[in-house]
Amino acid sequence: MTSIFINLAVALSPVAFFLYALVHLDSFKLVRLAFILQMLVAGIVLAGFGYLINGAISTGFDISTADYTRFVAPVVEELLKSSALMVLFAMNRIGFRVDAAIVGFAIGTGFSMAENAYLLHILTQANITVWIFRGFGTAMMHGGTTAIFAIMAQTLIEKRPKLGPLDVLPGLVLAIILHAAFNYYPHQIVLNTAASFIVLPTILLMIFAKSEEQLHTWLLTDYETHQHLMFEIESGEFVNDEAGRFITNLAMRFSGAHAEDMFEYVKLHTELVLRAESIDLERERGQRVTLTGADDAKFDRLHVLEKKIGPTAMAAIGPHLKFSRKELFEIRELERLARATPD
């Protein structure tokens, strides 16, 4: 009985500890614990689908186990793991590369835990060496490839207003190649394990640190930009510049849309972005974040204005004012916090 618990710990704990390390190293703490747990469950569910799909393909086609493991399984499993991230990207539920790394690794962690737990159930006679290689090698590979896909996709998505196939394809191809390379030489167990437990985590930590630095710089720059925009709005300069004239002309084109509502919407949206970015900077410094009923009330007013302006005019305002995916993500997260804060 003791050996079972030891095997279980060795097979499951390395990838779980590395996920904990990523969460602990995140200065901004934008990814909630509940969300991470949901991604772990998603990874477990996807592993179940992987078991069914791999079983159906391997029995339906004349292909050796070795070739299937090398060429087919990596495609199936990386597509499955990345599918959850594609949904999150489409819904703009991931705002920054730091978040993408954590969420991607969490999905890969859940997938590997389910896979190793299943093998623990059927390979009851396997010795501790097998589980060392599974825990420190295969499990870390699953987490690492999914995190790398997530980081690459997020990097490309940030450069475009909408998610497209070219945003996810490069990361998916790289994840499949890394997975296939791990599987290609099954007898090189020590080398594969070392690559998964040393090389992949090192690369991830380097990217993670660089992404945090870039996020800090972006927050400061974006905060200053929105402060300048707020100054223009409050001083009246905004009404007369290009964006202001566009809003005035837009109001004339849509029945029921009023320029005053649109200008109030832009001001309120800018205030909320500034509020969200100031909270992110406070979190980075380790300060306690407190929200009030005033934050909640601003979102109520924002949604009232959206209805008054109308969906067509709103669709026209957004691109012209260049509200980025990051800013929209910040707004959504701030609203979630505001709604969760008791009055």
Q: Where are the domains of the chain?
A: 2-211, 236-340
pLDDT tens-digit readout, 235-290: 988 888 888 888 888 878 876 668 889 999 999 999 999 999 999 999 888 888 77
Residue 286, SS3 per DSSP: coil
d(CA 312, CA 299): 20
d(CA 189, CA 192): 5
Nearest to 81 by CA among 111, 103, 56, 116: 111
Determine the distance from the C-alpha atom of residue 165 to the mean position of all C-alpha atoms in its chain, rounded to a whole number.
17
Res 318: pLDDT: 74
Question: Would you say 142 and 111 are in contact if contact means Cβ atoms under 8 Å apart?
Answer: yes
Res 127: pLDDT: 87
Q: At what angle do helices 259-284 and 311-321 cross, to 10 degrees?
A: 50
Question: Would you say 182 and 192 are in contact if contact means Cβ atoms under 8 Å apart?
Answer: yes
Q: Give the DSSP letter of residue 72.
A: I
- Asked if the model's pLDDT at residue 161 lies above 80, the reply is no
- Asked if the model's pLDDT at residue 133 lies above 60, the reply is yes
Concatenate the DSSP letters of all residues of 112-145 into one string.
HHHHHHHHHHH-TT--HHHHHHIIIIIHHHHHHH
What percentage of the chain reaches a pLDDT higher than 90?
A: 66
What percentage of the chain reaches a pLDDT higher than 70?
A: 96
In sequence order, which ranges of the chain are alpha helices (DSSP H)?
A: 2-25, 33-60, 65-67, 73-90, 97-122, 128-133, 139-157, 165-184, 189-194, 200-235, 237-240, 242-253, 259-284, 293-309, 311-321, 325-340
Region 96-107 average pLDDT: 97
Question: Would you say 262 and 321 are in contact if contact means Cβ atoms under 8 Å apart?
Answer: no
Res 1: pLDDT: 56
228 contacts: CB under 8 Å, gap ≥ 6: none
- How many CB atoms neighbour CB 85 within 10 A? 26
Q: Check the CA dihedral 306-310-315-320 and report its sign.
A: negative
Res 124: pLDDT: 82
pLDDT tens-digit readout, 179-201: 999 999 878 888 889 989 999 99
Question: Would you say 47 and 110 are in contact if contact means Cβ atoms under 8 Å apart?
Answer: yes
- Asked if the model's pLDDT at residue 206 lies above 70, the reply is yes
- How many CB atoms neighbour CB 109 within 10 A? 29
Region 282-307 average pLDDT: 89
pLDDT tens-digit readout, 29-81: 889 999 999 999 999 999 999 999 999 999 999 899 999 999 999 999 999 99
Nearest to 171 by CA among 148, 199, 143: 148
- Asked if the model's pLDDT at residue 211 lies above 70, the reply is yes
Determine the distance from the C-alpha atom of residue 262 to the mean position of all C-alpha atoms in its chain, rounded to a whole number.
32
Confidence class for position 343, pLDDT limits 50, 70, 90: low
Burial of 323 (0-12, 13-18, 19+ CB in 10 A): middle
Helix, strand, coil percentages in the chain from 3-state DSSP, rounded to 5: 85, 0, 15
Q: ∠ CA(311), CA(314), CA(315), 5° rounding?
A: 85
